[in-house]
Structure 1
Amino acid sequence: MPTRPSAAAKRERQPFGRWFLGSSLYSLTLGYNTPRSFFAVAADSWPGDPVLGQRLLQAGEFAAAGSVGTVLPDSDDPPWQRPGAAPLWLDALNGFAWLRDLRDNGDPHGAMLAARLVDDWTNREWRWSPVTWKRDVLAARMVAWIRHYEWLASAADPGFAARFVFSLGRQRVHLRRVARRGMVGHEAVAVYKAMIFADLAFIRDGKHFEKSLDQTLGRLAKFVKRYVLHDGIVAERAPHLQLAVLRHLIDVRAALASAERRAPAELVAAIDRMAPMLRFFRHGDGGLSLFNGTWEGDRRLIDLVLARSGSGEVAPTMALASGFQRLSAGTSLVIADAGSPPGRGMDGIAHAGTLSFEMSAAHERLIVNCGTYPGAPRDFQHFMRYTAAHSTAVVDDVNSTEITNHGALEYRAGNVLIDRADDGGAQWLDMCHDGYRSLYGIIHRRRLWLSPDGGDLRGEDSFLGYEGRPVTVPDQRYIVRFHLHPTVKATLAQSGQAVLMRLPSGRGWRLRATGAGIGLAESIYLGEEGRVRRTEQIVLVGQVPAEGTTVKWALTRMEG
């Protein structure tokens, strides 16, 4: 799926190329044959945040990604490339998704402020810059402008439409140039979506846009056919990207329908495959499971995306291509990552969490991964990718998949094998990976068993030599970790032989283990956007002898 970058994309990364892109000469090339007419496309119907809209309208404060800054039109301190501002804050500001916050605030002055800010951007940012014209930010801005055009124009002066169309046309030209090659993953879907929206908006201005639209639809169809795996999960294997990409595709389908055009069959098929898998990743509280850089997310938005998908198919029990597994009985739900980490080009945010699992009881989370969210402290984002930040086993404090300094993965936990069985209502998972084979000659095997009533989850974590051979580097310490949700209260009991856990509802669970020492340690939780919360983890600690070892544990619901 990764491709070589286009000439324009290469220029963005080279000093001379960046100078040229920011020059008046390049700016002139963007204005050639700019469209003069505009057709409103599928007005935005996703909910905004009225509180954030009111804050922007009344105080001129824009809050995003954990940062706040003043945003005023025609200011002596323009915000669009403000020195010292957090990069994610600038991305959110220049992406203009906040237009829906002003729109849903309900104050008629919101549209006036929005139109003035759009004009302020077009007046100040008419030249390319690496901040305001970054490819993903540019794509988000184009879609936001197009979908809010009628609302913006309703409060603007008579010349606004011409200025708006001229700027949008120039942005479209640059996006097409940098989108020819070098796009991977969810960004490619977002960029294709923006190009489709722009071509639909300008379609009445000539056949040129008809041809461009057909080409982009063909490229999107070809891309999603490969990018959305056969089981319906996106190639990055991240639940939050499952939500984002499904939302993008639903938007494209709606835009085409508004122009009385049929969506490509590959796009429709991708939506149908993705919706059940989004349900697959939801816990009992309605939020997302925390694999590969995901946070809990907005439950209302998840509900809305699923409703608009048009798919009523229930969540399956397994994802064969990506390896995720789901055990459900009574009020208990277990979601396990039993697949290999994402491949090269899709691994920029991937975590080394192979064989980790999460568990919820009814609407309460019990066992979690640490997760992360946009705007989290940089060091935390890095460390949350480690195996130790997941509810799985770690050998010698080494990640099961290496995370390189530039963020990609190397020496992935491979040969991830899965066997699944049902027996009289009970469910078995038998999984293993070889992430520690090259260093220590160790294979990590994890077996899970969930009782028919969901009140008993039993596990075995084995550390064995490859194909029955002795471990090549024995006596390495292992730790089996169970990170607890911050709302769970845990105490050691039975003279340190068990841990009792109390959920907010008052329900209790107990974890016992044999074959390893048991204890409690500190942990942190980044599963809620904008918050770093302290929590605890249960740890089972031991050593791996030459002949290998197995630790058995049981997580049992306490009646009464």
Structure 2
Amino acid sequence: MTPQAVATPGRAPLLKRLLGRGKRPLRLTAVPRDHVQGDRARGDQILAGKLVRGAEVLDLTEINFREVGTTGPLAQEAQAFAWLRDLAGTASRERGARVAEAVAARWLVAHGNKVDTAWAPALWGERLLFWAAYAPYVLSSHDAAYRAALLNTMARGVRHLGATADRADPGLQRITAWAGLTAGSLLLQGQVSRVARAEAGLTRALATGQADDGGLLSRSPAEQALLVDRLGLLRAAYHAAKQTLPEALEGAATAALAALHGVMLGDGGLGSWQGGNPGDSLRLAALVEGCGMRARPLRQARGWGYQRLDALGTVLVMDAAPPAPTRITRLGSASTLAFELSDGAQRLVVNCGGPGLLPTGITAELAQALRTSAAHSTLTLGDKNSTAILPNGNLGRGVEDVTVDRRDDDEFNRLEAAHDGYVRGFGLVHSRGVMLANDGKEVRGADRLLPSGRRRIRDAVSFSLRFHLGPGVEAVATADGMGAILRSPGAPPWNFRCRGARLEVEESVWVDGQGRLTGTLQLAIAGEATAQGIDLGWQFRRSS
């Protein structure tokens, strides 16, 4: 498959219009090197003409970009050419170029001469990052008209972003648009005068989309991984252009990586937060290894909102912040004070997760249910979410204030947090205290409902405290109904004990890194709360 393979009667005139009459062909002044290794198995699929993501497949050999559109994760990946990394991970330059140039030529025919949805700022930003990094795959053709058309279209994309980058949604999309504009300005002949303005725009986008501690305001681990990727590609562009990345951008990139590390569990995957799932641990490892940055996991994050405790291979991550507002994300979840726990590579306590950014067979109704408090390892009161999830998927009223206190000593790492999500409806604050032993063998916890505000409930209200168990974890309840033995293939046995209410082992679900639903178990502690509140204690302890 070559660019010539997509020739049509109107193709030559089109490429001439894209080149522009009387214009000298542009060139790239430098080509960045993407150090992130692509997925070889996925690259083989692309080499065979199939772009696969989650539950969806696109045929690249006959792709019509107008029909593909820009809606959905797979269409956006195709339009942004992010799949070039996986193609390069398996194919030689010669073999890969035959595929990449043919697809790029089809894109030019569909979108090169018309500003439409494929020219959305975030798509153009990502496309510029990947076309520049994989120029040997999309610009190796002997067809001078094709090469000139692609390069001139890249230049038009740079000019387009100069006028539209701030129209992208705040957060990852706006950051991506400005990052692509910055890279294009650095690398395309004749565009260097745009660099200073692009850097200023990117700095603004980071200031409005990223917390001071490095985490995106969307609080999505999956988006955080993409942020690290975008900034890593931008760093490579600066290196190729023999320019120094501004200190503010370098600091933002390093902080982004630290925040990402902070929500990764012992198996190298992400935590299941904000409607997302663990993702592909091998892909994440390649990103962390190849992004060009190094950072320690962020442990205390007020803006990013995730608190991390770790000791000798045991990792606990708690959501200690309000959900992100709907204007920032459509996947915000009622997960405040939930936590996840891993022992080595074994996930012991999890949240149910969700499809996140993957195409999936999970229905919209179920995906919304997976965003509820009950789908997270935390306490629910009166069958209500700590933050309301409205029928249209937006978040309503609920958690506004979360207090956090951390204290460490010779025996334990201690975390105390409380939220006000149940004050308005029930006059009760939910407080959760967690202690992780310094040898990693014990987690002690207490969940309390404490009177607060003027409202007082007259009748008792049901509560449920849930600990969703990781894939492969089996639970056998003890005879007294106050504990369970947890066994898994990936870790020694753990014993669970509780006080304040009886324990039941019930069915649950978990979404894996491919967006597939898996049956699991949960430890459920249920009872009734009065206006005076409740006090529940619990403990996980490793047997060896």
Q: Call closer, same or farther: CA 1:196–1:473 in 2, change over 3 Å.
A: farther
1:395-437 deviation digits (Å, cap 9, x = unpaired):
1221111223444323241221112222332122221111011
Matched with 2:359 is 375
CA separation in 2, counterparts of 1:102 and 1:315?
31
CA separation in 1, counterparts of 2:194 and 2:224?
27
Equivalent of 2:107, from 106, 115, 121?
121
The answer as to whether partners of 2:317 and 2:339 remain within 8 angstroms in 1 is: yes
The answer as to whether partners of 2:426 and 2:455 remain within 8 angstroms in 1 is: no
1:454 and 2:443 matched: no
Matched with 1:89 is 74
Q: Call closer, same or farther: CA 1:167–1:312 in 2, change over 3 Å.
A: closer
CA separation in 2, counterparts of 1:395 and 1:366?
24
Matched with 1:523 is 508
The answer as to whether partners of 1:498 and 1:518 remain within 8 angstroms in 2 is: yes
Q: Call closer, same or farther: CA 1:34–1:142 in 2, change over 3 Å.
A: farther
- Return the letter of the residue paired with 2:227: V
The answer as to whether partners of 1:518 and 1:540 remain within 8 angstroms in 2 is: yes
Q: Secondary structure at the match of 1:535?
A: strand
1:135 positional shift? 3.5
Unmatched 5+ stretches in structure 2: 1-16
- Aligned runs of 1:50-449 on 2, under 5 Å? 50-58=40-48, 60-72=49-61, 75=62, 78-82=63-67, 87-107=72-92, 108-126=94-112, 128=114, 132-181=118-167, 183-202=169-188, 204-205=189-190, 209-308=191-290, 312-343=294-325, 345-373=327-355, 374-376=358-360, 377=362, 378-449=364-435
1:81-113 deviation digits (Å, cap 9, x = unpaired):
437997322222222111223222225333112
1:367-397 deviation digits (Å, cap 9, x = unpaired):
0111223223233332221111110011122
Unmatched 5+ stretches in structure 1: 1-27
1:108-152 deviation digits (Å, cap 9, x = unpaired):
333112111111121123354765334333332232222222233
Matched with 1:38 is 27
CA separation in 2, counterparts of 1:394 and 1:294?
20
Q: Secondary structure at the match of 2:434?
A: strand
Deviates more, 1:304-313 or 1:458-467: 304-313
CA separation in 2, counterparts of 1:316 and 1:223?
22
- Name the TM-score, length of structure 2 as normaliser: 0.88
Deviates more, 1:406-415 or 1:477-486: 406-415
The answer as to whether partners of 2:417 and 2:432 remain within 8 angstroms in 1 is: yes
- Return the letter of the residue paired with 1:152: V
Q: Secondary structure at the match of 2:204?
A: helix
1:526 positional shift? 1.3
- Return the letter of the residue paired with 2:154: L
Q: Call closer, same or farther: CA 1:506–1:181 in 2, change over 3 Å.
A: closer
CA separation in 2, counterparts of 1:185 and 1:85?
19
The answer as to whether partners of 2:18 and 2:149 remain within 8 angstroms in 1 is: no
Q: Call closer, same or farther: CA 1:109–1:422 in 2, change over 3 Å.
A: closer
Q: Call closer, same or farther: CA 1:36–1:158 in 2, change over 3 Å.
A: closer
- Name the TM-score, length of structure 1 as normaliser: 0.86
What is the total number of aligned residue pairs between the two structures? 522
Q: Secondary structure at the match of 2:307?
A: strand
The answer as to whether partners of 2:175 and 2:209 remain within 8 angstroms in 1 is: no
The answer as to whether partners of 1:329 and 1:450 remain within 8 angstroms in 2 is: yes
Q: CA RMSD of the aligned region, Å? A: 2.7
1:322 positional shift? 3.6
- Return the letter of the residue paired with 2:359: G
CA separation in 2, counterparts of 1:432 and 1:30?
61
- Return the letter of the residue paired with 1:549: I
1:48 positional shift? 2.0
Percent identity, aligned pairs only, is 27
Equivalent of 1:501, from 474, 486, 489?
486
CA separation in 2, counterparts of 1:492 and 1:97?
48
1:176-208 deviation digits (Å, cap 9, x = unpaired):
333233530011111111112222233x33xxx
1:180-237 deviation digits (Å, cap 9, x = unpaired):
33530011111111112222233x33xxx33322111111123324433222222222
Q: Secondary structure at the match of 1:507?
A: strand
